Amino acid sequence: MGARFQIFDQTPARITISAPSASLLSPWLALFISAFFLLILYSASRSMHRTLTSSKSPAELSAYMLRFWVIGSGILLGALGLFWLISSNSGSIVLDRGANMATVRAKMSALLPAQSRTVPLDIVQSATLDFRPNARRIRLLVDHGSDLAYPIWTSRPGQEEAVAAINAFLERTGKP
């Protein structure tokens, strides 16, 4: 589960709903992957130690083993960091009466640029949630043309509150 959708900057003229950065790499998954990798690293280090004991001095063997553990730990941390970067996503929904714009911005991965779509605010009818078996996304329904949907399907909490806040904001605009 990721960070919850949060309502920021809620004024009569503007509302901003943010989905802070969250990743698929949960602490439990990181712990499981780390334990599995360290078990493999430990087994490999024991085999390496037995193989090199007869041909290396104790100082050389100690240096080899230290390098082995440093490189292995670096690979583990690098892989976990890369997985976090690849699976990290964030975004926002901004409704601005002054600029007459509804903007949905989403960043699918920390390594890719953000996507942004905008429609005039006066054509937005309401907000709703699209449902899939294990995820939802916020959709802004428009009078004509293509609806403006948050591109990331997620199970983050706070989406119902965000939809209610958007609909309340639109009602103050005079939309049904």
Asked if the structure places residue 119 within a domain, the reply is: yes
- Asked whether residue 157 falls in the same domain as residue 109, the answer is yes
* Total of domains in the chain: 2
- Asked whether residue 97 falls in the same domain as residue 158, the answer is yes
pLDDT at position 1: 46
Asked if the structure places residue 116 within a domain, the reply is: yes
Q: Which pTM was predicted? A: 0.75
Asked if the structure places residue 133 within a domain, the reply is: yes
DSSP string, 1-21: --PPPEEE---SSEEEEEEEE
Q: Given a cut of 90, is residue 63 above it in pLDDT?
A: yes
Asked if the structure places residue 41 within a domain, the reply is: yes
User: Which residue spans within the chain are E strands per DSSP?
Assistant: 6-8, 14-22, 89-96, 101-107, 115-120, 124-131, 136-142, 148-149
Of the three residues 38, 64, 86, the one that is the final residue of a domain is: 86
Tokens describing residue 136: 């939802």
88-124 pLDDT, tens digit each: 888 899 999 989 999 999 988 888 888 899 999 988 9
Per DSSP, what are the bridge partners of residue 137? 130
- Using pLDDT thresholds of 50, 70 and 90, give the confidence band for residue 3: confident
- The C-alpha angle 78, 71, 109, rounded to 5 degrees, equals 5
Q: What is the CATH number of the domain that holds 156?
A: 2.30.29
Asked if the structure places residue 1 within a domain, the reply is: no
- Asked whether residue 33 falls in the same domain as residue 99, the answer is no
Tokens describing residue 174: 């005079």
CB atoms closer than 10 angstroms to residue 15: 23
Asked if the structure places residue 127 within a domain, the reply is: yes
- Asked whether residue 98 falls in the same domain as residue 159, the answer is yes
- Domain hosting 41: range is 27-86
| Contact in structure between 168 and 176 (CB atoms under 8 Å) | no
- Asked whether residue 35 falls in the same domain as residue 51, the answer is yes
- Asked whether residue 81 falls in the same domain as residue 120, the answer is no
